[in-house]
Structure 1
Amino acid sequence: MPEIPVGAQIFDVVFHPTFCTVYTGLLTGHVKAFAYDEQGNHKSAFALRPSKSSCRGLSLNQDGSHLYAVGKAKSLFTIDTKTEDIVDVRSGAHDVSINRVKSLVPQLLSTGDDDGTVKLWDPRQKDSVREYTHHFDYITDFLWIEDKKQLVTTSGDGTLSVIDVRSKKPEPIAHSEDQEDELLSIASIKGGSKFVVGTQIGILSIFNRNSGWGDCVDRIPGHPMSVDAVCSLPPDLPNVDTTSTILTGSSDGYVRAVQILPTKLLGVVADHGEWPIERISIGSGQQGLTIDQPESGPSTANVGSKKEEDEDNEPRFQRKWWVGSVGHEDVLRMTDLEGFFRDNEGDENEKGALGVQVSDEDSDSGGSDGDDAEHEVDDKDAEEEAEGEGDREDEDENSDDENSDEESDVPQQKKRKRKPEPESKIVPKKRNKNTVVAEPSFFDDL
């Protein structure tokens, strides 16, 4: 698994839509860009420091020509990715620290701060276009619904809201009920008809926009700790049901691939050890430059990958999907997404789709796509693991005790304003990267 050291904790990561370049926002306030090739080799492209305060959020516009950065400095910075210069600074864009930024359409972007205020911006204007104050705790994530021109926001106050950017009213068109838990992340599935929301206690809440935004229609238990990041898969990823599969980043340090409706764990994509996952992003550059070529694009020096030339004689590289995941550590982990699913596909005959053991009950219930039903995220290879422990009993007699002691010594870092996780919601279990713990009461209904 390729790793890119950056020298400080990473708060956000985004990929350029066309070039083989990835951008990171750091605790030190730096924005660092790295070029990469199809083998995962990397090279530093540029480093800027718009502010001495931490950079919490990044977003690229549609063509990747401008990078927007926000953070503790309360300002909105615009970086030209071609010239590598800061071309616009909106000081005091918010009254408090800004937590998230999202480019929506070419002439509109959104920002959300620690007090729950959401602002819409037109890059051509100095002041914000509209301001929303219906949330009272920090904005955790944004999701853009293209066909409806709607912005979905999730918040630490336990609710999500839907903003119609075409409306001139400073209030959302929908605001959910209190979910009694912090909503930390959101991604779309089923062609944009359903949405998965990660929560503080490890539940995946499913919202169906056809049923309204008042409350979730499904709750999927299983993650042993908070789900801080969720990410949809690119639609053209081969050999995968991209409409129902997502990546989840949890505080236990694992990036998992999970299929929703029917619900099953497909495996662990990346392991960050004891470091909580902060953000997940997927990218696949199609163009790049070799080291010995002059750079004419936005910092896209590609490191030794094989290139092809298109009709304009521009170097074009084989498309390959990478997962960039970051935790509370100083490295960006790059994972070959196609390679992960390809490795799991080899066991399909014995274990079902993508190498996961699926029971008959799971297959039947998954096809119904039913609402108001809780679904289990199955343990991967649970039987094989139990048998293996019997064979290793003489050698590793004390391994479980050592793992338990090591786990208990690691402090759990929390985000700002987070509530303590209720102990009754979590089932203690030995940490295993290929399993997700589900509440025992769930099995009573199967």
Structure 2
Amino acid sequence: MNQDTDSDSESLSTDSTSSMSDSDDDRISDRISLTEKSEAAALLSTDNDDEEENEVVKSILDGKKLNRNHPPSIILEDMITDICFHPKVDTIGVASITGDIFLYTYNNEETNLVSTIESHLKACRDIEFSADGLSLFSVGKDLCIAITDVETKKLTRFYEKAHEQPIYTMTIINEHVFATGDDDGVVKLWDLRRKGSEPICSIKKVEDYISAMITNREAKYLACASGDGCLTTLNIPERKMHVQSEEYDEELTCLGLFKMESKLLLTTSKGKMYIYNWGEFGLHSDEFPNITKKAINCMIPITENVAITGGEDGILRATSLFPHQHLGIVGQHDFSVETLDISNNGTLIASSSHNNDIKFWNVQYFETLNVNQTIKGGKKKQLVHNLPSSQIKNQSDFFAEM
């Protein structure tokens, strides 16, 4: 599958086209559509007097070569703290360190900023759309929780000083209840049916930040990962702690559900992965050794058996859980990958890095990928094996085309 090979070619195309008038651009496009590549190359060589036009022709040719199957990158001026796809339409929310939330529409040709929501005075750390897509939940370093109407962009609920310490993460449990976790290890449950700004439950069982929270459709248990290395599970209906795992000597970073929500995957700051049977949270049932010893900062399930992780080395990797096997590289950033999310139809993932950029990757090929096919060469080959969405080709693929 042909992919973008250089993000610079995107910027070249945008910059060059924007400098031309609409009529000039249409004229060039018509000429390209009537010629083959050889004729376009001849056009480049003969029209030496119009260097600007040549650049546009070259950009259009480059664009045709790319056969884009994913949106172009989004670049912000400020650090990106979280991203979240809308569950119904082709829109992605982007949270920033300034506290603003940006809504972009996207398709394979372009991304467009359509709204800016100013809900927080300090960094907005986590955003999540409601299941119906009508509301956007956000939490921040300013101790506040904001719920915004997606259509009108107006606040429908605002919890001021919801925590005593900055809120690190949140998760929506059902249409009425959601949970938040802060830098001090406090977890709070909130019920939208309750008037006022008081939580229905507040529990503190760890001494470090709550890094991730997750529940399943049954919504009986809320699993909480923390920076002090404990997996703490709360009983939601009873509003009390259920069980706490053994303490790991590393920070717990991400949580994900697999195998029809029967398996819980836990990742760490040392690049390890642990699997729990859902409902049995005292001790993990399986442990996967790390492949790079680099921190796993973010993780999302792609299928019932495959997870994609983003690490501090800037690499997105795919891993099969059963059987356990590293499948290869999904994509690359220049700096540490901080956030990941998957689109409403499951064909795209988006990732952001410390470079203030969001990249999109088409992962539709996972529908037919054979996870049982072993990559020849062992773990060393797995480390550098590029999957179809990667911007870089494998050396063996290159020579196979010659």
**Distance of aligned partners of 1:22 and 1:85 in 2 relative to their CA distance in 1, 3 Å threshold:** same
Residue identity in the other structure for 1:24:
V
Secondary structure of the residue that 2:161 maps to in structure 1?
coil
Q: Match of 1:364?
A: none
Distance 1:225 1:381 in 2: 15
Q: Match of 1:147?
A: 218
Of residues 287, 300, 307, the one that matches 1:219 is: 287
How do residues 40-439 of structure 1 correspond to structure 2 at under 5 angstroms?
Answer: 41-125=110-194, 126-168=197-239, 171-209=240-278, 212-221=280-289, 222-233=291-302, 242-273=303-334, 275-284=335-344, 319=345, 321-339=347-365, 341=366, 345=369, 353=372, 356-357=374-375, 378-380=379-381
Distance 1:384 1:166 in 2: 46
Secondary structure of the residue that 1:48 maps to in structure 2?
strand
**Distance of aligned partners of 1:217 and 1:358 in 2 relative to their CA distance in 1, 3 Å threshold:** farther
Distance 1:143 1:280 in 2: 15
Residue identity in the other structure for 1:143:
I
Are the counterparts in 2 of residues 98 and 112 from structure 1 also a CA contact under 8 Å? yes
In the superposition, the TM-score normalised over structure 1's length comes to: 0.66
Q: Alpha-carbon deviation of 1:196? A: 1.3
Secondary structure of the residue that 1:214 maps to in structure 2?
coil
Q: Alpha-carbon deviation of 1:207? A: 1.4
Are the counterparts in 2 of residues 40 and 334 from structure 1 also a CA contact under 8 Å? no
Distance 1:81 1:384 in 2: 40
Distance 1:161 1:433 in 2: 42
Runs of 5+ in structure 2 lacking a partner?
A: 5-71, 387-391, 395-402
**Distance of aligned partners of 1:215 and 1:5 in 2 relative to their CA distance in 1, 3 Å threshold:** same
Distance 1:249 1:127 in 2: 36
Q: Alpha-carbon deviation of 1:101? A: 1.2
Q: Alpha-carbon deviation of 1:99? A: 0.4
| Higher radius of gyration, 1 or 2 | 2
Distance 2:382 2:337 in 1: 24
Secondary structure of the residue that 1:145 maps to in structure 2?
coil
Are the counterparts in 2 of residues 266 and 380 from structure 1 also a CA contact under 8 Å? no
Secondary structure of the residue that 2:316 maps to in structure 1?
strand
User: Does 1 or 2 have the higher relative contact order (CA < 8 Å, sep 6+)?
Assistant: 1
Q: Deviations over 1:264-319 (max 9, x none)?
A: 1212112112x1111111013xxxxxxxxxxxxxxxxxxxxxxxxxxxxxxxxxx5
Are the counterparts in 1 of residues 246 and 282 from structure 2 also a CA contact under 8 Å? yes
Distance 2:102 2:385 in 1: 43
In the superposition, the TM-score normalised over structure 2's length comes to: 0.73
Q: Alpha-carbon deviation of 1:382? A: 7.6
Secondary structure of the residue that 2:260 maps to in structure 1?
helix
Of residues 11, 26, 30, the one that matches 2:100 is: 30
Distance 1:40 1:151 in 2: 40
Q: Match of 2:16?
A: none
Q: Deviations over 1:319-352 (max 9, x none)?
A: 562101112121111111115x47x95xx6xxx7
Q: Alpha-carbon deviation of 1:261? A: 2.4
Distance 1:40 1:119 in 2: 42
Of residues 74, 88, 91, the one that matches 1:21 is: 91
Are the counterparts in 2 of residues 121 and 127 from structure 1 also a CA contact under 8 Å? yes
Are the counterparts in 1 of residues 311 and 337 from structure 2 also a CA contact under 8 Å? yes
Are the counterparts in 2 of residues 140 and 153 from structure 1 also a CA contact under 8 Å? yes
Secondary structure of the residue that 1:92 maps to in structure 2?
coil
Residue identity in the other structure for 1:357:
I
Q: Match of 1:423?
A: none
Distance 1:164 1:101 in 2: 17
Distance 1:433 1:253 in 2: 17
Are the counterparts in 2 of residues 31 and 48 from structure 1 also a CA contact under 8 Å? yes
Are the counterparts in 1 of residues 188 and 200 from structure 2 also a CA contact under 8 Å? yes
Secondary structure of the residue that 1:53 maps to in structure 2?
coil
Runs of 5+ in structure 1 lacking a partner?
A: 234-241, 285-318, 360-376, 386-431, 435-446
- Pairwise CA RMSD: 2.5
Q: Alpha-carbon deviation of 1:144? A: 1.4
Are the counterparts in 2 of residues 161 and 175 from structure 1 also a CA contact under 8 Å? yes
